[in-house]
Amino acid sequence: MNLWRSKLWWCFFGILCLAGIISICGVVWRAHILRQSHENRKPPEPPPDLAAKFERIRGLKIRSKGKTVWHLVIDSVQINKQRTLAEIDGLKEAVYYLLGKQLLSISAKKAVWNMLTNDIEVWGDVSVLLNTGLQMRMERLHWRDFDGVLKIPSKVIGESKALRFVAMGVTYEARRSLLKLLNGVYACTDYAQFYCRQLDISIPSGEYIAHPPVRLVLCFHPFAEGLEVKPITVEAITQLIGLGNAAPAEQKEKKAKVEKEERRIIFESLTQPLKRVGRKVYGADVTVREEGEEYTIAVKRFTYDESKEYLIADGMVRYEDPDIILTAPKAELFRRERRLLLVGKVHLESKLKANSQNASAKNGSKSQQGSEEELPLRERIRRKPTVIDCEQLEYFYRERRAVAKGNLKFRHGQYAGSASVVTYWHREDKLLAEGKVMVNDLEEGHVFECTSVTILLANDQRKEDEIIVAPGARALIMVKEEEEAKASEEKPKQQEEQKTPSKTEPQEKSKP
């Protein structure tokens, strides 16, 4: 019995040992299988260009040399695996600092930040606010960090309390506060409107430099905030300058409207820039016009003071209106007095009036088709304009009146001479010479000297010329050769008639 029990016990013990060995082998095998599968399995990889993504970032500061350069408020940002690019979605605000001073802030829908060069490309409803209060709106911009330049290659609209503009491109140098409007600009600032290819604005000094082609309009009223600005191209600016003054009929219609309003003065140039600093304008090779007036002044160099309404020009000045042409080395324009003062070698030349041109056109086929040499002497003299050469001349362009003096010579119709002072009224065809006067009648040849003479040419109101000479005049009357020949022929005939007796005389003498 005991032997049987011992055998059962050893049998049970053997079974338990075998089961234990089998279970241990199974565990070891399972562990080996799991270890192999774990080694062969690849871990999950992130997106190829994405290393990190952050959302709802407030107050992210980017520093350089221990100082804050950018302060960012963004919705989300994704950084690529190489950590070279950061894609920003929802750029609420990006503030740029220089030496602790805020220079500008940018907001847009999207942006890409190059982490190697710190350049930023921004697009989608972009808005830029400068520290001067100027706000600009555009679709795209590029920030170049190494020199702090903001470049905008497309249409830009800018607005502030003192400036409104639209341009087809903008470059802003933040460190110098220099704003460059490019590729066709229309800008309005205090008392001025610019039409130009490029406008450089130095914000600290308030200096404006307009590059040609340029048209600058100065007005007497301050900047109007409600004024609408529209895009303009360089070709449109060139055409606008090429139009010049309106036709005389249009000028007369506009003149009545402008009389009640404050007049504007216009400066135009196709070759040289215009510079405006404060209320003064500087430039060269410019044409000057005044709204409501009919004149144009071409100057080589000039300075214009807006507050005094005073212009001074030198180099070479050429004034022209529908009646008069003036040239001189120097000139001064007094707009409030509507007066032009010319100094140096001054030359005045009047233009032929329309009625005299029509009258000369009706004088037969010879005057229409022949040359001036074939015309009679009187007609040739009539066709020549009034000319005055002097050293100083004052011209009142509203009255068409000129006052000349200094080494003076003149020609008015068929009369030429010299005097101390000459006053010329173009509309009345009237010339008054005073002082030491000497006048020569080019048609008749008479010469006379006096202290004062008034010459009124024939016109619609006067049928013949009128000359009013002051008392005490000395005259030299010239007799034509034709009259002398006739007189010499008539004297021998009269003598012969007196010497030859008639037929009845011999019969009478023969009578006792």
Domains and their CATH numbers in the chain:
47-130 (no CATH), 155-301 (2.60.450), 352-363+373-480 (2.60.450)
Least confident of 77-81, 157-161, 184-188, 391-395: 77-81
Parallel, antiparallel or unpaired: strands 330-334 and 466-469: unpaired
Residues 6 or more apart whose Cβ sits within 8 Å of residue 367: 360, 361, 375, 379
Instruction: Give the pLDDT score at 281.
Output: 97
Instruction: Kindly state the tokens that stand for 148.
Output: 């702090």
Residue 374 binned pLDDT confidence (cut-offs 50, 70, 90) = low
In this prediction the pTM is 0.75
Q: Is the pLDDT of residue 443 over 60?
A: yes
Q: Higher-confidence residue: 259 or 432?
A: 432
User: Quick one: what percent of the chain has pLDDT higher than 90?
Assistant: 49
Instruction: Kindly state the tokens that stand for 56.
Output: 């709802």
Instruction: Give the pLDDT score at 496.
Output: 53
User: Quick one: what percent of the chain has pLDDT higher than 70?
Assistant: 75
Q: Read off the pLDDT of each residue in 389-416 and give the average, rounded to a whole number.
A: 96
Instruction: Give the pLDDT score at 485.
Output: 53
Instruction: Give the pLDDT score at 490.
Output: 57
486: how many CB neighbours lie within 10 A of its CB?
Answer: 10
Q: Read off the pLDDT of each residue in 457-480 and give the average, rounded to a whole number.
A: 72
Q: Is the pLDDT of residue 325 over 80?
A: yes
Instruction: Give the pLDDT score at 107.
Output: 96
Report DSSP letters for 157-191, one per residue.
Answer: EEE-SSEEEEEEEEEEETTTTEEEEEEEEEEEETT
Least confident of 26-30, 166-170, 334-338, 381-385: 381-385
Q: Higher-confidence residue: 111 or 4?
A: 111
Instruction: Kindly state the tokens that stand for 255.
Output: 């003149």
Report DSSP letters for 464-508, one per residue.
Answer: S-EEEE-SS-EEE----HHHHHHHHHHHHHHHHHHHS--THHHHH
Residues 6 or more apart whose Cβ sits within 8 Å of residue 106: 91, 93, 94, 96, 120, 122, 126, 127, 128, 141, 143
Of residues 442, 415, 444, the one with CA closest to residue 430: 415
* Dihedral sign for Cα atoms in the order 47, 49, 52, 55: negative
Please report the beta strands in 50-99, taking only residues with DSSP state E, as ranges in sequence order: 52-64, 67-79, 85-98
Least confident of 295-299, 454-458, 481-485: 481-485
Q: Is the pLDDT of residue 256 over 70?
A: no
Instruction: Give the pLDDT score at 425.
Output: 95
Least confident of 113-127, 163-177, 319-333, 367-381: 367-381
* CB neighbour class for 263 (10 Å; exposed up to 12, middle 13-18, buried from 19): middle
Instruction: Give the pLDDT score at 36.
Output: 64
Least confident of 15-29, 85-99, 172-186, 469-483: 469-483
